[in-house]
Amino acid sequence: MNNNKMIYVIDDEKDICQMVSLELEQFGYSVRSFTTGAQACHAIRTRPPALCIIDLGLPDMDGMELVKQLCDKHSVGVMILSGRNSVPDKVLGLELGADDYIVKPFIPRELVARVNSLLRRLENSGPDPKTETRTAQFANLRYDPKTLTLITGDGKQSELSSAEHVLLIRLLKAPKTILSRDQLMGETTGPFDRSIDVRMSRVRKKIEQDPKNPEIIKTIYGVGYILTTDVSWTP
Amino acid sequence: MNNNKMIYVIDDEKDICQMVSLELEQFGYSVRSFTTGAQACHAIRTRPPALCIIDLGLPDMDGMELVKQLCDKHSVGVMILSGRNSVPDKVLGLELGADDYIVKPFIPRELVARVNSLLRRLENSGPDPKTETRTAQFANLRYDPKTLTLITGDGKQSELSSAEHVLLIRLLKAPKTILSRDQLMGETTGPFDRSIDVRMSRVRKKIEQDPKNPEIIKTIYGVGYILTTDVSWTP
DNA sequence: ACTGGCTGTTACATTTCGTTATATTTCAGA
DNA sequence: TCTGAAATATAACGAAATGTAACAGCCAGT
């Protein structure tokens, strides 16, 4: 069982969070728990998960409101976990956009089965939320991820290969932050690998004015790389 | 509420069929009922619905077997309606591919809410059969699946073959999402095949302005292909 | 049988990308 | 400051992935 999908559990009762996490992790999922809506919101924006399991009775915000927000962005799956077994509540939650509504107390194994079912359905559905479609502007360059096209300040165009694209996107998503080689590689390829250096060299050759003295992407000796400029995204 | 989607209800108890049908029809769905698995199978092959609601206790065949068959061609949604409230049954049904499992007795209004929720998810999903009838607009092109006709921005027309059609439709149904060769192939043909590349080449020749430098369909090396544009569907 | 269109296969050209080898840079310690 | 080991840069190479023209089989309609 090598799912590896990210699931967020949002419930103010720590017991529930723990129980759900343990069960899901046994089936190969990566789980993070949150006990307040605010924390969850922030995390969802930063690293959107494949699925959110939400308790309606949160201390700091209306659970329904959170559900609605999530469902409007249409890509992340939403399961409601509630102590209230009333039909109007269920109907409201589901019509608001939730994909399932489970009443407490529930059987952990059934929850897992429903999670599996939903993720299976989500898999071949909707645009991939990870694919960035806005254009990035940085250091008198413009990069359009839709077409993998880079436009320099003086109008020259060049195309990035898909591996170069992934690397550049990771940097653009975390400007002015040191990223280790592992972080830049993601889940691909083995532990000892110098290929990242070569990739970086190829990216630099396309984005730097003088690739021998890189300004935009600096090397942090012994640690990783950093994108030194600000980035603004235009739709 | 003008859904107009086709739903099949398969249950040997006529009362249940009638109740479910009435309720769903009030919400604008087209419903057909079947009291035996054989009838349903035939109808599903002839006119595949958007969703099947299946009672497990059918007189002439094992309900689970029917569920499994349906789910294998995973374009049609499957809801199980069962009198058995046991966790193993639920888990089995859901793992087999069902999208929901509802225990009798149930509240009709909740059933409708769950149907709405599921169909919403299914809407932009699934390797469609040939059933798409709306016209797709993307990248100053218009494609009419009914006639397999492509119209370019400057008025030129061309026709796609049916294999090209399937490929293009799969891409249009999942814009901005990387699709693997397997996903694009669907259930057809053998494991290692280069035919998809050739098909893609032929599609590109028709939709791209400069097929040597494709803009609309990009290749993701080692992974698959991606449609880079937005798509809007007009009836 | 003949024809024309569709489709998969094959063969070869091209691109991508990781590996290797070598040059260069960094930095701790003398 | 100097020195050497470790880290990084990148050119060059080759294996694998992809693009596509050309060919061959199949099928429906004549």
**Residue A120 pLDDT greater than 50, yes or no:** yes
Partner-chain contact A87 B110, CB within 8 Å? yes
A-to-B residue pairs, Cβ atoms closer than 8 angstroms: 95
**Residue A186 pLDDT greater than 50, yes or no:** yes
Contact flag, residue A156 CB and nucleic strand C, below 7 A: no
Give B19-33 pLDDT, tens digit per residue: 999 999 999 898 999
Q: What's the rounded mean pLDDT across residues A8-30?
A: 92
Residue type, B217: I
Give A27-54 pLDDT, tens digit per residue: 989 899 999 888 888 888 777 788 999 9
CA of B213 to C1' of C17 (A): 20
CA of B231 to C1' of D21 (A): 31
Partner-chain contact A113 B124, CB within 8 Å? no
Contact flag, residue B198 CB and nucleic strand D, below 7 A: yes
Q: What DSSP assignment string belongs to B89-157? A: HHHHHHHHT-SEEEESS--HHHHHHHHHHHHHHHHTBS---S---SEEEETTEEEETTTTEEEETTS-E
**Exposure string (b/e) for B40-58, b if CB count within 10 Å is 16 or more?**
bbebbeeebbbbbbbbbeb
Give B178-217 pLDDT, tens digit per residue: 888 888 886 555 446 789 999 999 999 999 998 889 999 9
**Exposure string (b/e) for A210-221, b if CB count within 10 Å is 16 or more?**
eeeebebbeeee
Q: Of the candidates B118, B174, B213, which has its C-beta nearest A127's C-beta?
A: B174
For chain A, the farthest-separated pair of C-alpha atoms sits apart, in whole angstroms, at 67
Partner-chain contact A116 B124, CB within 8 Å? no
Nearest CA among B228, B126, B207, B211 for reference residue B160: B207
Alpha carbon B73 to its chain's center:
9
Choose the mutation target among A79, A117, A189, A199 for the interface with B, i.e. most B CBs under 10 Å: A117
Contact flag, residue B201 CB and nucleic strand C, below 7 A: no
Contact B195, B182 (CB under 8 A): no
Q: Give the pLDDT confidence score for residue B218 in this predicted structure.
A: 95
Contact flag, residue A192 CB and nucleic strand C, below 7 A: no
Q: Give the pLDDT confidence score for residue B69 in this predicted structure.
A: 77
Nearest CA among B183, B225, B175 for reference residue B204: B225
Q: Give the pLDDT confidence score for residue B98 in this predicted structure.
A: 92
Phi, psi dihedrals of residue B111, rounded to the nearest 5°: -55, -45
Domains of chain B, earliest start first:
6-124 (3.40.50.2300), 135-234 (1.10.10.10)
Alpha carbon of A74: minimum distance to chain B alpha carbons (Å)? 9
Mapped onto helix, strand or coil, the DSSP state of residue B19 is helix
Q: What's the rounded mean pLDDT across residues A70-79?
A: 77
Choose the mutation target among B3, B172, B177, B217 for the interface with A, i.e. most A CBs under 10 Å: B177
Residues in chain A: 235
Instruction: Tell me the β-bridge partners of B226.
Output: B178, B218
Give B123-182 pLDDT, tens digit per residue: 655 545 456 788 999 998 999 998 999 998 888 889 999 899 999 999 998 888 888 888
Q: What's the rounded mean pLDDT across residues B56-70?
A: 81
For residues A210 and A127, which has the higher predicted lDDT (pLDDT)?
A210
Q: Give the pLDDT confidence score for residue B103 in this predicted structure.
A: 94
Q: Of the candidates A110, A124, A146, which has its C-beta nearest B91's C-beta?
A: A110
Strand D bases with any atom < 7 A from protein Cβ: 7-12, 17-22
Strand C bases with any atom < 7 A from protein Cβ: 5-11, 15-21, 26-27
Partner-chain contact A87 B98, CB within 8 Å? no
CA of A57 to C1' of C22 (A): 63
Alpha carbon of B74: minimum distance to chain A alpha carbons (Å)? 9
Partner-chain contact B127 A124, CB within 8 Å? yes
Distance CA A19, CA A103 (A): 15
Distance CA B221, CA B5 (A): 38
